[in-house]
């Protein structure tokens, strides 16, 4: 499988894009937590952190390293729809398990709601990950990086806009989950489909 040389960025450029993207993404995540800590109560901060703590390991395990498998599947043994289907099943299972953990760890309905909302945002992110895996297969790391940057900015803007108005962590998380979904639909999916077209045309 070959791609036009004009679509193949250099290793240095790819690495630079990913370094910038990770700094931007994690910087925005820190800003999100800092904003909730500054404007919210300790209980709200605790609920948000608990949501992250409950969902992160579950969704990491449920990822099944499908993005890595997709990148290394040079013979195209499995189609993109196969990877998406497996990711959908795994993500649904991870979402359900996170809800169970939330109900087990906390009796507070507000905290459970925050955990559910964080799990929802992680579900959206998991589909971004599998689509970006297709881009990574084609070494289009600048598009993967752009997706990360957009999601980081979306989370920060979502919390900065909604949380001061509602004082609700759940509402703020829902806001950035919706923004992440917009990134998936408007950026990740079209880019992945374009990358897929190059496989059929090569």
Average pLDDT score over the chain? 90
Q: pLDDT by residue (tens digit) across 66-116?
A: 888 888 877 778 888 899 999 999 999 999 999 999 999 889 999 999 999
Q: How many CB atoms lie within 10 A of CB 179?
A: 20
Q: pLDDT by residue (tens digit) across 142-175?
A: 999 999 999 999 999 999 999 999 999 999 999 9
Residue 75 lies in a domain: yes
3 state SS of 129? helix
Q: How many domains does the chain have?
A: 1
Residue 181 CA from chain centroid, whole number: 9
Can you tell me the mean pLDDT for 196-202?
Answer: 70
- Check residue 71 and give its pLDDT: 84
> How many whole angstroms separate alpha carbon 119 and alpha carbon 128?
14
> Percent helix, strand, coil in the chain (nearest 5)?
85, 0, 15
**Is the pLDDT reported for residue 8 higher than 60?**
no
- Check residue 132 and give its pLDDT: 93
> How many whole angstroms separate alpha carbon 134 and alpha carbon 191?
9
Structural domain of residue 39, as residue ranges? 12-201
- Angle CA(52)–CA(15)–CA(28) in degrees, nearest 5? 30
């Amino acid at each position: 499988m070959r791609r036009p040389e004009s679509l193949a960025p250099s290793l240095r450029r790819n690495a630079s894009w990913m370094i910038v993207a990770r700094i931007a993404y994690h910087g925005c995540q820190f800003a999100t937590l800092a904003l909730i800590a500054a404007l919210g109560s300790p209980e709200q901060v605790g609920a948000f952190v608990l949501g992250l703590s409950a969902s992160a390991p579950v969704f990491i395990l449920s990822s099944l390293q499908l993005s890595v498998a997709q990148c290394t599947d040079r013979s195209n043994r499995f189609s993109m729809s196969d990877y998406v289907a497996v990711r959908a099943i795994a993500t649904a299972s991870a979402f359900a398990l996170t809800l169970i953990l939330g109900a087990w760890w906390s009796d507070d309905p507000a905290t459970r709601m925050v955990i559910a909302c964080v799990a929802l945002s992680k579900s959206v992110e998991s589909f971004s990950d599998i689509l970006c895996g297709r881009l990574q297969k084609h070494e289009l790391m600048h598009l993967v990086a752009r997706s990360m940057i957009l999601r980081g900015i979306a989370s920060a803007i979502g919390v900065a806009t909604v949380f001061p108005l509602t004082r609700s962590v759940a509402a703020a998380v829902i806001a950035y989950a919706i923004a992440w979904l917009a990134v998936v639909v408007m950026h990740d999916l079209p880019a992945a489909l374009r990358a897929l077209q190059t496989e059929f045309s090569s």
